[in-house]
Structure 1
Amino acid sequence: MRPWIGLGALVLAEIGYPLTGGRARAALVVVTVVIGFLLSVGHASASRGPRAAALLVLVTAGGGLAVEAVGRSTGYPFGAYDYTGALGPRLLGVPLVIPLAWTWMAWPAWVAAARLTARPVARVVVAGAGLAAWDLFLDPQMVSQRYWLWRTTSPALPGVAGIPLTNYLGWLGVAVALMALLRLALGDDPARPGVDAPMYAMYLWTFASSIVAHGIFLGLPASAAWGAVGMGLVAVPLAVRLWRS
């Protein structure tokens, strides 16, 4: 998938989310994730080669499936939760679309981190935080639609009921671990500002559009605020760096 065309398709799909409901909305979620997955993997293949793209999928989709399967079965590391049937077929109890979502946002977070720091450990931490912060938007949005539900819901972030703090801490730990594995798999993988521009745009679009969607269209002002703060720790420095370059 050509990056800018794919990003345009992703934007259109996400704009459609507040305009739909019920089964149509759930189907659009699946379509959106598939587009994002293809966009990230396609960009990785075009910019780093097919081997890098395959390793990306193995680490993030494979790792995401494994940790989600363990998580829903044992309650670790996120807390006790389970999926409803809204997101389609499952593998090991996990909707097939869920591992694709890990890959979708892992790659722009990895690429954005390279633009912010060249130090290996710092890059892993920044990329992991950049991926984990996305869940400050994702989980409240998906839980509000009952795509998955939590059995234990407290303690929770102020204003964001129904999702325990353990979820966000689990996301952070898993995201950093996945980024460490990706660093081992891909090596240094330095920033490539021109080639990576579509991934910067995707990360910044996800940040800005999620704030607007949660705050205005979805009736989730608290998650709009929490996501703005959390994801902004990576998105704002990235935007400043790109503006100054």
Structure 2
Amino acid sequence: MRRWWLPWTLLAALVLAQIWYPLTEGDARARLTVLTVLLGVAFSVSHALLARGPRAAAALVLTATLGGFAVEAIGVATGFPFGSYEYSGRLGPRLLDVPLIIPLAWTWMAWPAWLAALRVARRRAARVAVAAAGLAAWDVFLDPQMVAEDYWVWRDPVPALPGVPGVPIGNYLGWIGFAVLLMIALGAAAGRATAGPERSDAPALALWLWTYASSVLAHAVFLSLPASAAWGAVLMGAAVLPLLPRLRDPLLPRLRDPA
């Protein structure tokens, strides 16, 4: 049990940073955004290492961090697959016009999305679908919030979801497409659990549930983004809420089950 102090401590720090976020503004909020992502990626990589070993941690970094950077660099340069957009200079250093913090955000949320899908679905294809849908639906919260802060902007943000201007629907389709590829690769490479699921996966599942619930609350109450709160509650909820009745499932989900 002693080894689980690190992910739980990182999770507690992450939650505190997210609670503090609505209380800040301007450059302080941008710095807190970067700190939140750094805490999140530290959580996910350390949890992957502890729960499933070095192979899983390396797989997460290779698929989500490097893959996330690659798709973002292609997206900024070509407009595919997310649409034509550009980042402002508010999120720190950039490489190929992509803030280095951005692929870390993919890494942060890809891991809990995958572990939650292992509990919800039993077959490989269904797990990929659930994890990809959950990760893409998270962006229904993320993008409107970040656009409102002027961290990035679309050159042609139409058509958009009703009530959520500034973010084209094609962006969400791009997220789904990349998320499917990411989850296929992550599921194939991550390996099996090294500890019982209730003990080892509990911090990541807690993060997944917290992300959903806190995003709905923050957008609805603190960030004045009621439409994205409603869309996210429905779309991400479809992937997250089926997890609740499975939290006490004693069966160990295995990453290498046949498709």
Q: TM-score, normalised by structure 2?
A: 0.91
Per-residue deviation at 1:188? 6.0
Q: How many residues align?
A: 245
- Name the residue aligned to 2:205: 200
- Name the residue aligned to 1:222: 227
Residue 37 of structure 1: which of 41, 60, 69 is its match? 41
Measure, in 2, the Cα distance between the counterparts of 1:59 and 1:241.
27
**Structure 2 residue 132 is the aligned partner of structure 1 residue 162:** no
Residue 124 of structure 1: which of 120, 125, 128 is its match? 128
Cα distance per residue 1:35-83 (max 9 Å; x no partner): 0000000000001112210111011000000000000110000100000
State whether residues 115 and 193 of structure 1, in contact with CA within 8 Å, keep that contact through their aligned partners in structure 2.
no
Q: Which runs of 4+ in 1 moved over 3 A?
A: 187-191
- Name the residue aligned to 2:79: 75
Per-residue deviation at 1:244? 7.5
State whether residues 120 and 188 of structure 1, in contact with CA within 8 Å, keep that contact through their aligned partners in structure 2.
no
- Name the residue aligned to 2:254: none
Which residue identity lines up with residue 6 of structure 1 in the other structure?
A: L
Q: Secondary structure at the match of 1:233?
A: helix
State whether residues 132 and 171 of structure 1, in contact with CA within 8 Å, keep that contact through their aligned partners in structure 2.
yes
Measure, in 2, the Cα distance between the counterparts of 1:36 and 1:164.
26
- Name the residue aligned to 2:257: none
Residue 150 of structure 1: which of 129, 134, 154 is its match? 154
Residue 22 of structure 1: which of 23, 26, 34 is its match? 26
Measure, in 1, the Cα distance between the counterparts of 2:56 and 2:201.
14
Cα distance per residue 1:118-168 (max 9 Å; x no partner): 201111111111111100000000000000000011000000001100000
Give the gaps of 5 or more residues in structure 2.
Answer: 251-259
Give the gaps of 5 or more residues in structure 1.
Answer: none
Measure, in 1, the Cα distance between the counterparts of 2:96 and 2:203.
33
State whether residues 164 and 227 of structure 2, in contact with CA within 8 Å, keep that contact through their aligned partners in structure 1.
yes
State whether residues 116 and 243 of structure 2, in contact with CA within 8 Å, keep that contact through their aligned partners in structure 1.
yes
Residue 96 of structure 2: which of 92, 95, 117 is its match? 92
Per-residue deviation at 1:243? 6.3
Q: CA RMSD in A?
A: 1.5
Equivalences for residues 225-244 of structure 1 within 5 A? 225-242=230-247
Measure, in 1, the Cα distance between the counterparts of 2:242 and 2:49.
26
**Structure 2 residue 6 is the aligned partner of structure 1 residue 2:** yes
Measure, in 2, the Cα distance between the counterparts of 1:24 and 1:45.
32
Measure, in 1, the Cα distance between the counterparts of 2:180 and 2:197.
22
Q: TM-score, normalised by structure 1?
A: 0.97
Q: Does the C-alpha gap of structure 1 residues 243 and 49 become closer, same or farther in structure 2, counting only changes over 3 Å?
A: closer
- Name the residue aligned to 1:107: 111
Measure, in 1, the Cα distance between the counterparts of 2:158 and 2:50.
44
